[in-house]
Chain A
Amino acid sequence: MARWTPERWRKLRVKSGFSIYYVFFLMFIYGPMFAMFILSFQGRRGGTSFPMRGFSLYWWEKLLEPSTVGDMQGAMGRSIILALMVMVITGLFATMLAMAFRKKFWFSNVLFYTILTGLMVPGVLLSLGMAILMRQLGIPAAWYTSGLAVHVIWALPFSYLVMMAVFNRFDSRLEEAARDMGASEWTVFKEITLPLITPGVVAAGLFGFTLSYDEFARTTLLSGADNTLPLDINASMTQRIRPTLFALGTASTIFSLLMISVFLGIYTILYRRSR
Chain B
Amino acid sequence: MFSLAEHRTERTRTVNASNPIPTDYDTFRASIREFLKEALTPELIRAGERTTSVFSDFEAGRQWQSILHAKGWGAPEWPIEHGGTGWDIQQRYIFLEECKLANAPNPVMMGIQMLGPMLMHFGTEAQKTQFLPGIISGDDVWCQGYSEPGSGSDLASLKTTAERDGEEYVVNGTKIWTSMAHHSNWIFCLVRTDKNVKPQAGISFLLIDMATPGITVAPFPSLDGEVEQCQVFFENVRVPVANLLGEENQGWTVAKYLLEFERGGQHFTIELKKQLGKLQRAMANPNSRAIDDPTYAYRVAETEIDVMALEQTELRIKGSLSAGDNPGALSSLVKVSGTELGQRCAELLIEAAGQSAMPWQSDVLAPDYTGDTAAPAECVTTMAEYINSRATTIYGGTAEIQRGIIAKHVLGL
The answer to whether A and B belong to the same complex is no
